C-alpha cells in the first residue's frame, strides 16, 4: 500500500471520530446559533484570563488559543450546513444542547488542527512516516521536506506577525485617543473605532476596484458590521460582569437599520450577501469558508454574526480574497493600479533622502524594470521587481505565490542585471535622463510581507519586503550602499533560535497520534518599525492620546451629546480649533441612529 493511501486512511479514521456526535441531531439553525454562543462564552473567558494575567507569554498563549478556537468554530459551522438534520432539535428542545455543542466544538478543534496538517501534506509541504506497532492505535509523523523549507516557514510566520503587530499598534494608539475623547459615549467610541479599524487594515486606496465594488464602499459597509459586533460584544461583556447564566447573544445584521449616507443600500446588500456563508458556492468561487465569509445565514434568510469572530476577522486580506474568487477576472480590472500604489508608497520613503533619485517602468530587453533607486553620493544602483499580491497567510497560500516570486528571482532580475551590465551609460540615461557612474548595483524582488516559501530554488538575488527596505534606508540614513549590503546579507530576516525555533507538535486525535514539525516565535522583539511608524493619523488628524483632552459629555437626545466641561488649557494638548475640527470630523457620520 502506498504511503499516500495509508495517510488517507488515517485521515479517514480521524474523520470517523467526528461522525457520531449528538450535535448532528440538532437543526442547522439551532446548531449554528449554539456553536457561536459557546464560542462567544469561551472567548469571554479568554478575555478575562488575558486581562488578569501579568505574564506576556501567557497573554500571547491565550490569544493564540483564541485564534485556534476561531478555526474550530469555522470547521464546525461548515459541518452544521452539511450534517445537521433539518427536522432536528430546536433551541426549545428539552435536551442538553449546550453539552452537545461543547463536545462538538472540542472535537472541531482537533479536526481543524488535523486539516492544517493534512492539507499541507497534500501539497507536498510535509513528508509522512507511519508507525503502527500497537493494535487499534496509529501514529503518523509529518516532517518538513527540507531545512530550507522549514526556515522559510519560520521566517514568513514572523514577518506576518510583525506586519500584523504594526497594524495593531496603529489601531491601539488610535483607540486610546478615541477613548480619551469619547470614552463616556459608546455610540461615538464604536463609530470612530470601527472607522479606524478598516482604515488601518486596508492598504489599497479608496478608488481601487474589486469586482463590482470600490474599496471605499467595502470599508464603509464593513465598518458598520464591525460596529454592530462591538455593540453586541459590549452587551455580552456587561451580562457576563453581572454574572448572568445566559449564554452570550449574537447579532442579526439589519441593513435597514443602518444610516447609509456614504454607500448605497444596494451595494451594501450585495456585499453583505457576498460575505455571507451559506454552505454553497458563489459565482466562480471554488470553495467557501466561514473565515472569509464570516456572516452566517439561517434558513429563514436572517444573517447573524458572532461578535468575537467578526472582531478577530482580518478585513482586507479575507474580503479581497473572497471577492477575487467570486468575481475572477472581473475582480482584477484595476490590477495594473497595484504597481502605481506600490510606487507611490516607495516614493514616500525615498523622498526623505535628498541623495536618492528614482525611476520606474523602464523597458529593457524582455521585461520592464518596475522600480529603481540611485544614490548620488555613493553611486549605488538598486533595482526592484515588485510583487504586490493579496497577502497569503497559510503555508499552502504562501506556496501558491511562489511562481510569481520565482519568476522574479530567476527570470526577471537576471534580465535587469544584464541590461545594466550591457551598457550602464545607456541604462542610466534612459532611467534617470542622465549618464551616471554606477560603482555597485543590487537587485531584489520586493513584496508586501511574505517572501516566498523554502521550495523556491536558491538564487544569487534576494526577496525582501517593503518594511525591510524602509528600515534599511532609515538605519543607513539614506546611504543606499549600506542599505543594499544589509538587505543582501539577509540582515532583516527573522533568525532561527533568536526570533523563532523548531519544535514538534504532538496531538492525540481519537486513536491516532499525530506528530508534526512546527515552530514557535521565541519573543516579540523582532521589529521593522522606524520612528515614522509612531505617528498615526486618521483622516489627517494625529492620533496621539497625550495630545487630546479627556472630554466629558451629557446626553441631550437620541445619540446626541453635548460637551459640558472645557478641558484645562495645556501646552501639550492640541488647540481649541484643532480639537473641535477633530471632534467634528470623527462625529460626522453619527446622526440619529446607532446603526
pLDDT tens by residue, 248-267? 999 999 999 998 889 999 99
Find all residues with CB under 8 Å of 124, minimum gap 6, and list them.
Answer: 145
Distance CA 336, CA 202 (A): 18
Most confident range (mean pLDDT) of 140-154, 182-196, 309-323 is 140-154
Tell me the residue length of the chain.
Answer: 595
Upper half-sphere CA count for residue 359 (Cβ side, 13 Å): 19
Ranking 222-226, 317-321, 577-581 by mean pLDDT, the lowest is: 577-581
Distance CA 178, CA 197 (A): 12
Nearest CA to 465 among 160, 215, 58, 223?
160
Q: Which three cell numbers stand for residue 101?
A: 455543542
- The count of other CB atoms within 10 Å of the CB of residue 12 is 9
Residue 519: strand, helix, or coil: strand
**Bridge partners of 363?**
368
Residue 570: strand, helix, or coil: coil
Distance CA 350, CA 362 (A): 18
Confidence of residue 229 (pLDDT cuts 50, 70, 90): very high
Most confident range (mean pLDDT) of 497-506, 514-523, 555-564 is 497-506
pLDDT value, residue 501? 93
| C-beta of residue 400 within 8 angstroms of C-beta of residue 460 | no
Confidence of residue 569 (pLDDT cuts 50, 70, 90): very low
Q: What is the DSSP letter of 207?
A: T
- Mean pLDDT to the nearest integer, 28-51: 93
| C-beta of residue 143 within 8 angstroms of C-beta of residue 164 | no
pLDDT value, residue 525? 81
Judged against a pLDDT cut of 50, whether residue 595 lies above it is answered with: no
Q: What share of the chain is helix, strand, coil (3-state, %, to 5)?
A: 50, 15, 35
Higher pLDDT: 460 or 205? It is: 460
pLDDT value, residue 564? 59
Judged against a pLDDT cut of 80, whether residue 136 lies above it is answered with: no
Residue 444: strand, helix, or coil: strand
- Distance, first Cα to last Cα, the chain: 59
- Of all residues in the chain, the percent with pLDDT exceeding 90 is 60
Confidence of residue 332 (pLDDT cuts 50, 70, 90): low
- Mean pLDDT to the nearest integer, 356-385: 95
- Mean pLDDT to the nearest integer, 187-207: 88
- Mean pLDDT to the nearest integer, 139-144: 94
- Of all residues in the chain, the percent with pLDDT exceeding 70 is 90
Confidence of residue 594 (pLDDT cuts 50, 70, 90): very low
Confidence of residue 593 (pLDDT cuts 50, 70, 90): very low
- Mean pLDDT to the nearest integer, 201-218: 90
Distance CA 298, CA 229 (A): 18
Judged against a pLDDT cut of 80, whether residue 567 lies above it is answered with: no
**Bridge partners of 304?**
252, 296
Q: Which three cell numbers stand for residue 299?
A: 434558513
Q: What is the DSSP letter of 496?
A: B
**Bridge partners of 367?**
364
Judged against a pLDDT cut of 70, whether residue 574 lies above it is answered with: no
Judged against a pLDDT cut of 70, whether residue 336 lies above it is answered with: no
Confidence of residue 589 (pLDDT cuts 50, 70, 90): very low
pLDDT value, residue 187? 83
Nearest CA to 289 among 298, 299, 279?
279
- Mean pLDDT to the nearest integer, 546-563: 70
Confidence of residue 489 (pLDDT cuts 50, 70, 90): very high
| C-beta of residue 462 within 8 angstroms of C-beta of residue 445 | yes
Largest pairwise CA distance in the chain = 84
- Mean pLDDT to the nearest integer, 471-500: 97
Nearest CA to 223 among 181, 194, 256?
194
pLDDT value, residue 355? 98
Most confident range (mean pLDDT) of 71-75, 342-346, 549-553, 556-560 is 71-75
pLDDT value, residue 568? 45
Q: Which three cell numbers stand for residue 552?
A: 466629558
The mean pLDDT of the chain is 88
DSSP per position, 252-293: E--GGGS--SSS-HHHHHHHHHHTEE-SS--TT-S---TTTS
pLDDT value, residue 204? 84
Cα-to-chain-centroid distance, residue 67: 12
Q: What is the phi-psi region of residue 361: left when phi exceeds 0, alpha when psi lies from -120 to 50, beta otherwise? A: left
Upper half-sphere CA count for residue 397 (Cβ side, 13 Å): 14
| C-beta of residue 498 within 8 angstroms of C-beta of residue 522 | yes
pLDDT value, residue 557? 67
Judged against a pLDDT cut of 90, whether residue 246 lies above it is answered with: no
Q: For residue 413, with 0-12 CB atoms within 10 Å meaning exposed, 13-18 middle and 19 or more buried, which class applies? A: buried
Nearest CA to 276 among 232, 319, 324?
319
| C-beta of residue 117 within 8 angstroms of C-beta of residue 394 | no
Rounded to two decimals, the pTM is 0.87
| C-beta of residue 457 within 8 angstroms of C-beta of residue 406 | yes
pLDDT value, residue 561? 66
Strands 213-214 and 251-252: unpaired
Amino acid at each position: 500500500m502506498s504511503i499516500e493511501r495509508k495517510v488517507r486512511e488515517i485521515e479517514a479514521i480521524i474523520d470517523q471520530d467526528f461522525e457520531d456526535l449528538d450535535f448532528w441531531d440538532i437543526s442547522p439553525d439551532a446548531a449554528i446559533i449554539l456553536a457561536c454562543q459557546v464560542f462567544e462564552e469561551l472567548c469571554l473567558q479568554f478575555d478575562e484570563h488575558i486581562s488578569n494575567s501579568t505574564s506576556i507569554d501567557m497573554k500571547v498563549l491565550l490569544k493564540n488559543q483564541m485564534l485556534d478556537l476561531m478555526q474550530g468554530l469555522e470547521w464546525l459551522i461548515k459541518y452544521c450546513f452539511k450534517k445537521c438534520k433539518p427536522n432536528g432539535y430546536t433551541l426549545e428542545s428539552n435536551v442538553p444542547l449546550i453539552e452537545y455543542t461543547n463536545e462538538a466544538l472540542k472535537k472541531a478543534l482537533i479536526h481543524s488542527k488535523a486539516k492544517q496538517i493534512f492539507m499541507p501534506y497534500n501539497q507536498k509541504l510535509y513528508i509522512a512516516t507511519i508507525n503502527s506497532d500497537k493494535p487499534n492505535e496509529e501514529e503518523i509523523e509529518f516532517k518538513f521536506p527540507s531545512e530550507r523549507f522549514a526556515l522559510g516557514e519560520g521566517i514568513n510566520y514572523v514577518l506576518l506577525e510583525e506586519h500584523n503587530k504594526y497594524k495593531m499598534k496603529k489601531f491601539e494608539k488610535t483607540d486610546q485617543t478615541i477613548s480619551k475623547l469619547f470614552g463616556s459615549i459608546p455610540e461615538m467610541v464604536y463609530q470612530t473605532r470601527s472607522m479606524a479599524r478598516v482604515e488601518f487594515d486596508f492598504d489599497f486606496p479608496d478608488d481601487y476596484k474589486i469586482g463590482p465594488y470600490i474599496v471605499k464602499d467595502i470599508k464603509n459597509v464593513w465598518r458598520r458590521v464591525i460596529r454592530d459586533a462591538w455593540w453586541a460584544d459590549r452587551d455580552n461583556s456587561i451580562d457576563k460582569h453581572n454574572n448572568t447564566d445566559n449564554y452570550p447573544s449574537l447579532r442579526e445584521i439589519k441593513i435597514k437599520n443602518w444610516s447609509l449616507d456614504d454607500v448605497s443600500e444596494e451595494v451594501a446588500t450585495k456585499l453583505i450577501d457576498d460575505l455571507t456563508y451559506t454552505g454553497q458556492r458563489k459565482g466562480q468561487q471554488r470553495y467557501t469558508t466561514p473565515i472569509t465569509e464570516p456572516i452566517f445565514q439561517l434558513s429563514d434568510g436572517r444573517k447573524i454574526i458572532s461578535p468575537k469572530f467578526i472582531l478577530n476577522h482580518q478585513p482586507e486580506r479575507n474580503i479581497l480574497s473572497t471577492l477575487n474568487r467570486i468575481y475572477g477576472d472581473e475582480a482584477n480590472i484595476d490590477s495594473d493600479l497595484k504597481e502605481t500604489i506600490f510606487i507611490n508608497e516607495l516614493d514616500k520613503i525615498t523622498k526623505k533622502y535628498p541623495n536618492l533619485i528614482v525611476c520606474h517602468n523602464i523597458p529593457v530587453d524582455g521585461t520592464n524594470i518596475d522600480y529603481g533607486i540611485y544614490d548620488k553620493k555613493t553611486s549605488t544602483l538598486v533595482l526592484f521587481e515588485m510583487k504586490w499580491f493579496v497577502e497569503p497567510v497559510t503555508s499552502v497560500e504562501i506556496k501558491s505565490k511562489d511562481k510569481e516570486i520565482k519568476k522574479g528571482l530567476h527570470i526577471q532580475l537576471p534580465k535587469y542585471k544584464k541590461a545594466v551590465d550591457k551598457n550602464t551609460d545607456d541604462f542610466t540615461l534612459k532611467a534617470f535622463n542622465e549618464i551616471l557612474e554606477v560603482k555597485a548595483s543590487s537587485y531584489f524582488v520586493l513584496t508586501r510581507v511574505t517572501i516566498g516559501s523554502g521550495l523556491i530554488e536558491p538564487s544569487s538575488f534576494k526577496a525582501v519586503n517593503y518594511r525591510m527596505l524602509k528600515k534599511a534606508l532609515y538605519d543607513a540614513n539614506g546611504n543606499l550602499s549600506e542599505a543594499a549590503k544589509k538587505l543582501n546579507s539577509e540582515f532583516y530576516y527573522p533568525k532561527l533560535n533568536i526570533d523563532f525555533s523548531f519544535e514538534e507538535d504532538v496531538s492525540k486525535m481519537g486513536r491516532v497520534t499525530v506528530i508534526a514539525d512546527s515552530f514557535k516565535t521565541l519573543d516579540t522583539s523582532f521589529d521593522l518599525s522606524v520612528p515614522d511608524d509612531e505617528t498615526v493619523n486618521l483622516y489627517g488628524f494625529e492620533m496621539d492620546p497625550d495630545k487630546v483632552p479627556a472630554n466629558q459629555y451629557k446626553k441631550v437626545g437620541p445619540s446626541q451629546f453635548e460637551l459640558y466641561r472645557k478641558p484645562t488649557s495645556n501646552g501639550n494638548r492640541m488647540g481649541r480649533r484643532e480639537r473641535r475640527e477633530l471632534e467634528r470630523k470623527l462625529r460626522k457620520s453619527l446622526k440619529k441612529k446607532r446603526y
